[in-house]
Amino acid sequence: MFFPDTMQPVKTLIADDHALVRAGLRDALNNLPDLEIVGEVSNGPELMSALDNLHPGLLVMDVNMPEFEPVAAVKRILARQPELKILVVSAYDDDSYVTGLLSAGVRGYHLKDQPLSDLQLAVRRILDNGRWISDPLVNRLVQHHTAESSKALELTRRQREFLYLLTQGYNNHKIATLTDLSIKTVENHLTALYRAICVESRLEANKFANEHPELLSPPGLATAHPLKKGDSQYDGSITILLVDDNRRYRAQLGKLLNRAYPSISVHEAEDPADAYRLAEQMKPNLAFVDVVLMEEDGIQCTRRIKAISPATRVILISAYPDREFRRIGMNAGAIAFLDKKDIDAATVRHVIEDAMTS
């Protein structure tokens, strides 16, 4: 049974940045007699304002909206309105994204490509104090949970060092000082570490470290020396692919790479098609890929390069850094996401060292 007849309709708020999608959700939910649609919003600030003013009992929302950081926002919303039930309706089906939102407190995760009847069933389940996950996600989440412990054993040397530094209570600035890295590079390493051990925060990473002390590696105990011309692991064997539709920037980055390590082989690709051809031919050790390309975005390009050459380590670069791009890019297989303005000789040396020795 859904609700006793004596109860008032549940006030429901819809959040999605596409008017057409909001209309579809509204039509589907209007068929449920125990709901009252009290508002629609299209971005993060509108959502927060509507929650304060309307006090809904149910929030049906997409998570890819302007000015909206989903996991942090969900935690903040539920801290203020713990009785609110949240159903995510999204096109994103990435495992880490789903588990992060479920851990943050959403009651259900529904994929947009599933039948309308399933959405109505999801709402009923959640309002009856149950939970909902779309069928295509269930088996993958079970496999994700089963593989969680084995992922921990795949940490790189640098990730083990960062895990140790987190247990010492160091902030990003202190870690940057100790490791001689930029703040942005430290943030990228921490993002990769969190993804590798399936956590969302420093607190959760520290808890993981306490449970797996054998994975900690204090800096200096296993530190690789910078690669030099003539090293057995380096001598003429490192191939780097630059994918950027700006010829001038490719030339600048290529010169920076060659100054850092004169013997590396740098190849340039102006568009994704050229990048795929070179990836197939060379199987590069490392690829720098711009997020914004002419015919295809760099995140799609990253996935394709990884499919062609799984051993290639991809670094996404952008003149317009964005948290959502970073999250999706790391999930696509990139090992780092760098702001173009922060790429200097020191950053290049550390990136190549980490990529080639981890």
Q: What is the pLDDT of residue 235?
A: 40
Best-predicted range by mean pLDDT among 11-15, 237-241, 271-275?
11-15
Contact 122, 87 (CB under 8 A): yes
Q: Per-residue pLDDT tens for 233-265?
A: 334 468 899 999 888 888 889 888 887 777 788
Q: If you average pLDDT over residues 44-68, what whole number do you get?
A: 94
Write the CB contacts of 205 (distance below 8 Å, at least 6 apart in sequence).
163, 166, 193, 194, 197, 199
Q: What is the pLDDT of residue 147?
A: 47
Closest of 324, 251, 241 to residue 281, by C-alpha = 241
Q: Rounded to an integer, what distance in angstroms lies between the CA atom of residue 81 and that of residue 102?
A: 16
The phi, psi pair for 306, rounded to 5°, reads -65, -30
Local confidence band at 8 (pLDDT 50, 70, 90 cut-offs) = confident
Write the CB contacts of 311 (distance below 8 Å, at least 6 apart in sequence).
283, 285
Joined together, the tokens standing for residue 58 give 């149910």
List of domains in the chain? 10-144 (3.40.50.2300), 153-215 (1.10.10.10), 239-357 (3.40.50.2300)
Q: Per-residue pLDDT tens for 168-215?
A: 888 888 888 887 788 888 888 898 888 888 888 888 888 888 878 778
Contact 267, 242 (CB under 8 A): yes
Query: Above pLDDT 70, what percent of the chain?
Result: 85
pTM value > 0.75: no
Q: Rounded to an integer, what distance in angstroms lies between the CA atom of residue 78 and that of residue 75?
A: 5
- Mean pLDDT estimate for the chain: 82
Residue 71: count of CB within 10 angstroms of its CB:
18
